[in-house]
Chain A
Amino acid sequence: MRVVNHPFLPAIDEPDITIYVDGKPIPAKSGEPIAAALLAAGIRVCRKTAKKGRPRGIFCGIGRCTDCVMTVDGVPNVRTCVTPVKPNMMVETQNGLGSWVDAK
């Protein structure tokens, strides 16, 4: 959910681009980290662990813990909390360590 109303922080811009998460389009704001667009859309699962397939999502928010990594435009292990969105970005829930097979 986007924080549209706030007692004193300025009004926020409307989302102006689209990114794709597991094929589904979601709105995003230029300049925001991927994780922010995901949270705005209510998406909190970023990846599944390699051995037991357990769900992981954003934890530290500062680029250190790697719980939020996803495969972005074919590149695995991208930290969504510090990587800004780009128009038509393809973001995928990552299984395990991810792979570079389809990397551009």
Chain B
Amino acid sequence: MKEGVKYTGIPSRQELSSCPGIVDTERFEKGPVAVIECVQEIPCNPCEDACPFRAIRVGSPITNLPTLDGEKCTGCGVCITQCPGLAIFKVHKNYTDTTALVEFPYEYFPSPEVGAEVDLGGRDGAFITKGKVVKVQRNKKSDGTTVVAVEVPKEYFMDVRTICRNK
């Protein structure tokens, strides 16, 4: 079974490691940062305009994969709801000594409740760990896309990307 987003819908390890929207390992230690899991060339660039710190660059042609400048990125998270592909996340690896904070876009009903313990899943939707909902945010600019932040055991900061959906 071939790997990669074109065969499974899940970015492969290779696609993620060579993705210019994902910063180097050291940057994750320095505070919250966006994670742009955009690994396929499509004509699209709202993320570039969305960042108030100009940390995201697409340029021309607009099929270029977005590049994230880890130095400029403050982890504000404004970009999360501006990606039409819902491919932008935010992680704060050192939220606490033992936990990380993972933020993801969420467009299902109902939204989770702050303080709730939820089942969290990875890019394949499968259960990884339980976690606590820390933030549920929506505003006019997000236009219907909710941002959910969950606290997870630190080792899962690059794996947790969603709340599990019961079948």
Contact = CB atoms under 8 A, between A and B. Distances in A.
Whether chain A touches chain B in the assembled complex (some CB pair under 8 Å)? yes
Interface of A: 5-8
14 contacts: A5-B109, A5-B110, A6-B109, A7-B106, A7-B107, A7-B108, A7-B109, A7-B111, A7-B144, A7-B146, A8-B107, A8-B143, A8-B144, A8-B145
Nearest to A3: B109
A8 B110 CA distance: 10
Interface of B: 106-111, 143-146
Contacts, number: 14
A29 B106 CA distance: 30
Chain B binding site: helix, strand, loop or mixed by DSSP?
loop
Chain A binding site: helix, strand, loop or mixed by DSSP?
loop
Contacts of A8: 107, 143-145
A16 to B, nearest CB: 24
A8 B107 CA distance: 8
